[in-house]
Amino acid sequence: MLEIGVESGGSLGMWSHYFGPKCRMFGVDINPKCKSFENGTTKIYIGDQGDRKFWRQFTSEVPALDIVIDDWSHDPDHQLLTFEELLPHIRPGGIYICEDIHGAGNRFSAYIHSVADQLNAMNTVTSHTVQNETIAVQATPFQSIVSSISYYPFVTIVELAERPTSRFTAERHGDQWIASQ
């Protein structure tokens, strides 16, 4: 698990208690004093959230993550950059949470909305079976890894698929007319 924005370390303790002693935690903050929160299960990295070079160094040193929580600068440009850099570093079935998405017209929120639209992209191929019609849709690369994007007040959650999805199918049922007697 990664928490971006350690600050006073309070939530690190909360997450550690919630997930238990087997959870390996990472924290990121710009304040070097946050290194004091390191222990046997938690490692703290000091860097700038708005620096791609920092994130690339971070992902080269840290194993793939199950959970990412961005609760740091609350700057939409930093949130967008962090999402772009870390999404590929999350394991299948993992989640990305971004907190404190404030204001109408927020750039990060607009970006996530445009990304969510990709969940609806579609190339339809229809094939027929003997008793019903099956509609098959080839998954886009984005659809194959992202299973859902949820919006809440000031929070967005992106959930990755457990396994890559290559195709969506829907069998048509219940549309056969039966004469009444």
Residue 174 CA to chain centroid, in angstroms? 36
Q: What does the block give as tokens for 46?
A: 């000091």
Give, for 81, the enclosing helix (H) or strand (E).
helix 76-86
Task: Give CA–CA dist 29/125, Å, rounded.
Answer: 48
From the list 74, 78, 102, 128, the catalytic residue is 74
Is-catalytic flag, 78?
no
Rg over CA atoms, the chain = 21
- Residue 32 is given by DSSP the state G
**134, 171 in Cβ contact below 8 A?**
yes
**44, 69 in Cβ contact below 8 A?**
no
- Residue 167 is given by DSSP the state E
Beta carbons within 10 angstroms of residue 104's beta carbon = 6
Task: Give CA–CA dist 111/28, Å, rounded.
Answer: 23
Beta carbons within 10 angstroms of residue 70's beta carbon = 25
Q: Which residues are catalytic?
A: 74
